[in-house]
Amino acid sequence: MKRFLILFAILTIVVFPMFAIGSSLDVGINLSYNTGDDIVDESAYSGLFNMEKVALGLELRTNISNFQIAVNGDLTILDTESLLFSGIFGVGFCVDMFKYLKVSATLGPKVNYVYKGDVKSVDDEGNLVNAKSFINALESGTFYYRFMVDFLAGPVITMGLAYTIPTIFTIKDGNYSDILPRREDFKEGQVSLCMQMKLF
């Protein structure tokens, strides 16, 4: 069943936009800066070349009419031996304005993996998470809001800014009162410069 769900998600993101009317598949890169505290526990993952506030990432966005599915992944160098892989799997909406401007917003869980000799699943504070599978990691992932503004820079290229805001909501805990960001969560946001290329 879990393999079926993963396969269904891949087909939805990659295949469906090729056939859906008014849809697109965009891929791109982003450079992000974390405005808040360290993304993981510095005492556990700091080193000589600590760049935990800067991340280079990849993005995959599927737009179907005004509906958007987005996967945003970051790669952060924590030290000379450690890498942090972070991915937000969000769904939301996008609106085209004046043909040259697109505004979108998504919400979804974030999954973190630290490579330090081997790959370990961690939460936003650097604590180890016992995730038996990727689906289990998604259920334990903290939800993030991601707001984006993209400007048309060419026939298939867009440039934009994104702002990511954390919450304390997880599917595992199921406390839906936590799905809205608190006032202090806005101080822990992430600002990203994004470049996208439309494939379809």
Residue found by looking up tokens 């038996």 in the block: 132
CB count within 10 Å of CB 74 equals: 25
Phi and psi at residue 43, to the nearest 5°: -65, -25
Q: What is the pLDDT of residues 71-124, one digit of tens each?
A: 988 877 766 677 778 889 999 999 888 878 999 999 999 988 877 766 667 777
Query: What is the per-residue DSSP string for 61-79?
Result: EEEETTEEEEEEEEEEE-S
The two structure tokens encoding residue 194:
């994004």
Q: Classify 179 in phi/psi space as left (phi over 0), alpha (psi -120 to 50) or beta.
A: alpha
In this prediction, residue 48 carries a pLDDT of 40
Q: What is the pLDDT of residues 148-163, one digit of tens each?
A: 999 988 888 899 999 9
d(CA 190, CA 142): 14
At 76, the amino acid letter reads: T
Q: What is the pLDDT of residues 4-39, one digit of tens each?
A: 455 555 555 555 554 555 677 888 998 887 776 554
CATH of domain 2-198: 2.40.160.20
Contact 106, 92 (CB under 8 A): yes
Domain ranges of the chain: 2-198
Q: What is the pTM for the complete model shown?
A: 0.76
